[in-house]
Amino acid sequence: MTLAVLNHYMPGPLKQAARTAWQRQQMRRAMRRLVALPPGTTPERRLLDELRAAWDNEGFTADIDYLAEVARHAAQTPGPVLECGSGLTTLLLGALAGRRGVEVWALEHDPQWRRRVGTALRDHVAGQVYLWLSPLSDYGAFDWYAAPLPLMPEEFRLVVCDGPPDDTRGGRFGLLSVIGDRLPPGAVILLDDAARESEQDAVRRWTHAMPFRVALRRLPGGALAEITRC
């Protein structure tokens, strides 16, 4: 029975429970297929579409093209991953990088959202994923995550940057100031929402401070910047 049929016949108070149960079932099914992929394999777009629909965070879940790029890099990256902001991408990173023994560190400032992502990680992903509650803190000229720097790897080979929120003081600029010295040559930053003015400003400031090669891709829902340390 489809979710539409359930919604038609069930009383209002039961619809949300039925929807939640259906989504959990869909997520379990999609995640089983994801973690069954051979190491180093990038999932097909159809599977990413199923994961995105089951995750059900419409309006905030990353564009499918962005998810595909995150998945491709996660399946191949040789070293630790840093994620700024958490969500469905955290599950992808855990399944595709964490299960290969690659450490994944995700910083999340929202306690309630961290609980949701943490529960999903426990339910679906076996791998090295460290999901940290990292409040946004004052670094002087900008706000950024209170990262547990003494505990984190000395180098990150991949950074998935989809946070902090756009209205944060300094936007996403603080990434380079806080962990720039942990980005070796060849490290890649995947920057979501790269068409927004605050992200464009961050990229300009990053490239002024450190040698980067920037490739901008226009997506249906915005733009993605792939930024590689030279």
pLDDT at 141: 93
pLDDT at 172: 95
Superfamily for 3-229? Answer: Vaccinia Virus protein VP39 (3.40.50.150)
pLDDT at 63: 80
Distances (CA, A) of 219 to 122, 192, 216: 31, 10, 10
pLDDT at 21: 76
pLDDT tens series, the chain, 230 aa: 555 655 566 566 666 677 677 888 999 999 999 999 999 999 999 999 999 999 975 545 568 889 999 999 999 999 999 999 999 999 999 999 999 999 999 999 999 999 999 999 999 876 789 999 999 999 999 999 999 999 999 999 999 999 999 899 999 999 999 999 999 999 999 999 898 999 999 999 999 999 999 999 887 767 899 999 99
Vertex 172: Cα angle to 168 and 177 (nearest 5): 115
pLDDT at 57: 56
Greatest Cα pair distance in the chain? 60
pLDDT at 124: 87
**Domains in the chain: boundaries:** 3-229
Please, are residues 79 and 156 in contact by the beta-carbon 8 Å criterion? yes
Residue count (the chain) = 230
Measured CA to CA, the distance from residue 189 to residue 18 in angstroms comes to 39
SS3 per residue for the chain:
CCHHHHHHHCCHHHHHHHHHHHHHHHHHHHHHHHHCCCCCCCCCHHHHHHHHHHHCCCCCCCCHHHHHHHHHHHHHCCCCEEEECCCHHHHHHHHHCHHHCCCEEEEECCHHHHHHHHHHHHHHCCCCEEEEECCEEECCCCEEECCCHHHCCCCCCEEEECCCCCCCCCCCCHHHHHHHHHCCCCCEEEECCCCCHHHHHHHHHHHHHCCEEEEEEEECCEEEEEEEEC
Measured CA to CA, the distance from residue 167 to residue 110 in angstroms comes to 14
pLDDT at 31: 94
Indicate the pTM of the whole model. 0.90
pLDDT at 61: 54
